[in-house]
Amino acid sequence: MTEESRPAERADATGRGTKPPAMVAENLKEQLYATLTVMAVTLGLTRAEHLSHGSAALAVTATALGLWLATVIADQQAHNVVYGALARGAELRRLLYVSGPLLGCALTPLLLIGLSALGALSLTAALYTSTWLGAAALFVWGCAGGLRMGASRLAAVVVGLLDLGVGAVVVVIKLASGH
């Protein structure tokens, strides 16, 4: 698909652009992936001995930055192979919008690590809280997806619990493989 044939942003009633559903879905996919990865990192950090606030913040930042850079480089390389040029203009903005959550996934853990550094809670509590907030996000996204598909509230909760379970399995696999 060429840049010209991709669905463009549409203007809503306020005149601002709205993203095509496929782009929003890609963005959410990256958010889910980043959430799972950061959950594994923060949970893994709780097992580290003599962990400082700085090293915890560095690990979370490096994870998010590494995920983002890998995605941007891979997307640019794929675009170059398929279209014979690097993504520019609208296509580059799409790429950055879609990959943005990979950087944003670090915000909550970094905020909690910062609060811990200020003495509001222990570093271990901050890391566990970050992991639990990620798990809660998975549950909420699952429930929202269930409701969006027309499920009853009870069925949506079941979908949320299933997403939470899948997320737990992914985190355990990532931890077991040393991530």
- Cα separation of 8 and 20, whole Å? 7
Residue 84 zone, left/alpha/beta (φ > 0; ψ -120 to 50; rest): left
pLDDT band of residue 179 (cuts 50, 70, 90) is low
Q: What is the pLDDT of residue 168?
A: 84
**How much is the pTM?**
0.81
Per-residue pLDDT tens digits for 153-163? 999 999 899 98
Q: What is the pLDDT of residue 3?
A: 45
| Lookup result for tokens 């493989």 | 177
The answer to whether the CB of 43 falls within 8 A of the CB of 127 is yes
**How far out from the chain centre does Cα 12 lie?**
26
Q: What is the pLDDT of residue 5?
A: 45
DSSP state of 85: S
Per-residue pLDDT tens digits for 1-60? 444 444 455 554 444 568 888 888 898 889 988 999 999 999 999 988 899 999 999 999
Kindly state the average pLDDT of the residues 123-139: 93
